[in-house]
Structure 1
Amino acid sequence: MKNFELFLNEIGISIFYVKIGLGFLFSFLITFFSIPTIIKISRRKNLMDEPGVRSSHIRKIPNLGGIAVFYSIGICASVFAYELFDLYKFLFASLVILLYIGVMDDIVVMRAYKKLVAQIVVSSLIVIGSDIRIRNLFGILGIYELGYIVSVIFSIITFIILINAFNLIDGIDGLAGGYSIICSALFGVSYYRLGEYNYPLVVLSVVIIGAVLAFLYYNLSNYRTNKIFMGDTGSMLLGFLLAFTSICFIDIFIDKSLPGVPRYHLQSVPAIAVAILILPIVDTLNVICIRLYNKKSPFDADKNHIHHKLLKLDLTHRRSSFYIILYYLFIVLVAYCFRHINVNLLLLIILALGFLGAYVPDFIYILRNNKKTNN
């Protein structure tokens, strides 16, 4: 690889852009050509997602699309962003554990506590073993640098919440996949602007985009024989990777005083990271609050998610996903425009807009029903 890099430099081509192009191309192709085989095996072995209480589909659909996404990311990230696996020794091991737990859950449905134990193990590996953790809150609630123990516990909880949050928004076609692409693109562009020291993370973001784009081709398919879901395998994997990239993003703005590492300063960086991941955060907090208010277990399935509310307005899966992603992109734009204001105020604005978006469909539904009643 080093000889190849020297050759490219001699002819005036940056190895980074080659990695970007090939990473995207191969991640897309690997997923694209893997999924038909997975669909065929799923149908033959009846490894299908059955319609349930919170399901928005009415027939059996293969739900092992996450295997293809893992396969693609595992190969392409190891080849084109291999520096990450040198730097973060437990990253690949964490992905493999999530693959195993996700496939088990998609096939036989694991008990919640077993999944939680596995997620704690995975999060502990990456937080303690690879030292990927939230070290500083940049003044949120007056808190700055966190002690090591507090930082580890807070980071593990953050990983677990985001892993499960992405699992919860994976309820309609295109939403989890489309939102993962948007988040990866936003983080990727940010890493690119922050300099070549972060280029491996840019490549990882591009690889995720390529793999998920190919998955969406089948997930959004109108043909019954081509359709597939990512399942818990895919949603947990993407939730984990986006938690990983978001914490790395925050970490860039902490002054480590290391030689060769540029120093950046943005006091509101945690709020920016929250804005990028606002949909799964708000959706999860909202349904938990509703369940607790109704004196139900936070783990009980229901149809109080944002995407369920839009489906109740007779929107299609595609339109629902599009409107949700568009609204939460607006929140990211607001966060970017006001990134230099006080971090607490910006976080409050972001969360207020996030929860407003969660209840806009309810307001529309009530107004529509009142209009019908009056007529």
Structure 2
Amino acid sequence: MRVYLFIAAIAGGATFLLTPLIRHLAIQIGAVGKVRARDVHTIPTPRMGGLAMMLGFAVAMLFASHIPFVSGLFQNNHQAWVVLAGAVAICLLGMADDLWDLDWMLKMAGQLLIAVFVAWGGLQIISLPIGSLFAASPTLSIAITAFLIVVSINAVNFVDGLDGLASGIVAIGGIAFAIYSYIIARSSPSYASMATLIDVAMVGICVGFILHNWHPAKLFMGDSGSMLLGYLITCASIIMTGRLDPASIHTSIYLPVFMPILLPVLVLFLPVLDMCMAIVRRLRKGQSPMHPDRMHLHHRMLKIGHSVQGAVLILWGWAALISFGSIMILFFPARFVAIGFAMAVVLLTVATMYPYLKHRIPELRAENARLEAARRAAAAGGPKASDGDGDGASAGVGTGDKAGVSD
């Protein structure tokens, strides 16, 4: 465990130190995001922070390759280098988008090519738990792997709308999954795990970048960062879950993963949910799935009254609940986990809706007070109508009619 913490510290420290240099480079080459109608920030801010994150990840992986505890992971196969090559490629594609705003179809084509390259290089899901475990054909394995990578890349890209949001959500999912993969690795002759190694390095670069990206951000990660994070967390999940054999792992450990094809959705539940909602919303309007708008989850949080920091912290809370909820059954009985999960849902729901309720409850009270005053006025006006006063009678009838309508 200490080795993994050391690798995470190296990744975080390298990213933290390199980010100011990348920020200066971004300004020099013009990678500065213009303020768009859907943006939350109000001043042009440099992006391309993903380059610092990719360099931090590369430094951590190179250090790890010389650490005795995990060096065997680099010697026995070339999987680590395939992941690193894919990280460099996806980051370069994101940098191109940060600089020139690539067409979404061109960008997705690049994502798909990189995903296929990585899958062809050996990073594949080779078995699927559908009914019973069965061996998938090489073509199907590559197709499923590439699909998962592309979906996760775009899911993180969709949710990257507030300072620190995407990196925080990915870091939380990475911590939860690193714990799980570490537990799985303890059942093997060697505790070393490539999935855990990638996860801890990814968590490190997220933390190192958040220190510069917290609101108000000095630098945005841009597509070079969001695409990189979606790629890395999916690679880690594929490396571990794509090769799990339920016969060799106790059911109580295997079940929390559910199935390999759903694991990226679990650890990236909020980004995937946001992406699915956006696609459905845009298609219903006859728009492109990539058409920008201000209806993402983070936009809705701001609309109901949260500050940027508050919205980010609450969305982090939801991400932590979903990510850690799946691994808690490794340590506690399922009924206790369910009770704790339900309590956390209630607390987070209250926190999420509090700004809306804070403003809405006084409005409802004022509205009820007006209705009560109208009823009292109607009740007071009724007897006057029977006094034989024509004006009073007509007023009473009018008030009664209005009261009846409002009821």
TM-score, normalised relative to structure 2: 0.73
Q: Distance in 1 between matches of 2:14 and 2:233?
A: 21
Percent identical among aligned pairs is: 22
Please report how far the alpha carbon of residue 263 of structure 1 lies from its aligned counterpart in structure 2 after TM superposition: 4.1
Distance 1:39 1:276, change over 3 A: same
1:264-314 deviations in Å (ceiling 9; x for gaps): 542452255532221111111111111122222211001121111101122
Q: Distance in 2 between matches of 1:121 and 1:45?
A: 27
Distance 1:273 1:107, change over 3 A: closer
- The aligned counterpart of 2:116 is 124
Select the residue among 286, 296, 309 that pairs with 2:277.
286
Is 1:295 matched up with 2:295? Answer: no
Aligned-residue Cα RMSD (Å) equals: 3.2
Q: Distance in 1 between matches of 2:245 and 2:359?
A: 49
Select the residue among 51, 54, 57 that pairs with 1:70.
54
Is 1:275 matched up with 2:275? Answer: no
Q: Distance in 1 between matches of 2:311 and 2:206?
A: 19
Segment of structure 1 superposing worse, 171-180 or 294-303: 294-303
Q: Distance in 1 between matches of 2:126 and 2:357?
A: 41
How many residue pairs are counted as aligned between the two chains? 336
- The aligned counterpart of 2:32 is 48
- The aligned counterpart of 1:60 is 44
Q: Distance in 1 between matches of 2:272 and 2:72?
A: 30
Contact kept, 8 Å, 2:152 with 2:230, in 1: the verdict is yes
- The aligned counterpart of 1:101 is 93
Distance 1:40 1:334, change over 3 A: closer
- The aligned counterpart of 1:38 is 22
Segment of structure 1 superposing worse, 193-202 or 49-58: 193-202
Contact kept, 8 Å, 1:252 with 1:264, in 2: the verdict is no
Q: Distance in 2 between matches of 1:165 and 1:264?
A: 32
- The aligned counterpart of 1:26 is 10
- The aligned counterpart of 2:150 is 160
Contact kept, 8 Å, 1:187 with 1:249, in 2: the verdict is no
Q: Distance in 2 between matches of 1:48 and 1:218?
A: 16
Q: Distance in 2 between matches of 1:68 and 1:159?
A: 21
Q: Distance in 1 between matches of 2:330 and 2:202?
A: 26
Query: Based on CA coordinates, which of the two structures has the bigger radius of gyration?
Result: 2
Contact kept, 8 Å, 2:164 with 2:213, in 1: the verdict is yes
Unmatched runs of 5 consecutive residues or more in structure 1: 1-15, 341-349
Q: Distance in 2 between matches of 1:112 and 1:143?
A: 38
Distance 1:44 1:147, change over 3 A: closer
Please report how far the alpha carbon of residue 124 of structure 1 lies from its aligned counterpart in structure 2 after TM superposition: 0.7
Please report how far the alpha carbon of residue 147 of structure 1 lies from its aligned counterpart in structure 2 after TM superposition: 3.1
Q: Distance in 2 between matches of 1:20 and 1:339?
A: 21
- The aligned counterpart of 1:322 is 313
- The aligned counterpart of 2:174 is 184
Q: Distance in 2 between matches of 1:165 and 1:58?
A: 24
Unmatched runs of 5 consecutive residues or more in structure 2: 66-70, 332-340, 367-407
TM-score, normalised relative to structure 1: 0.79
Please report how far the alpha carbon of residue 90 of structure 1 lies from its aligned counterpart in structure 2 after TM superposition: 2.3
- The aligned counterpart of 1:175 is 165
